[in-house]
Amino acid sequence: MVINLGTCSAKIKIKSSLAKEMLKTIQPENAIAPKNLSINCYFHAEELICDLNLTCNNSKELLRLRNTIDDILQSLKIFLNIVDATSESL
């Protein structure tokens, strides 16, 4: 995480053969993001990449960024658990 003069940013990078499907799983996250938070997730070379930027003027806003990262990672964990459970039942 990088903090610069009122801007907080973070990058999530996950290399996986399922990266394209993972991207579809987290797309709704950007739809519900607060105005001062931008989330740009994309697929490139078997990697899911998410760039998060937030206008960050106080610790509550920094906590919002961390919580958003946690939400994205939790969504991906649920997706991977479902994939694992489905492949075990086949």
Specify the number of domains making up the chain. 1
CATH code: domain of residue 54: 3.30.310.50
Rounded Cα distance between 62 and 50, Å, is 17
pTM value? 0.82
DSSP 3-state assignment of 7? strand
Domain that holds residue 80: 2-89
Separation of CA 44 from chain center: 15
Q: Are 29 and 69 in contact (CB under 8 A)?
A: no
Specify the length of the chain in residues: 90
22-78 tens-digit pLDDT: 999 887 655 677 778 889 999 999 999 999 999 888 888 888 889 989 999 999 999
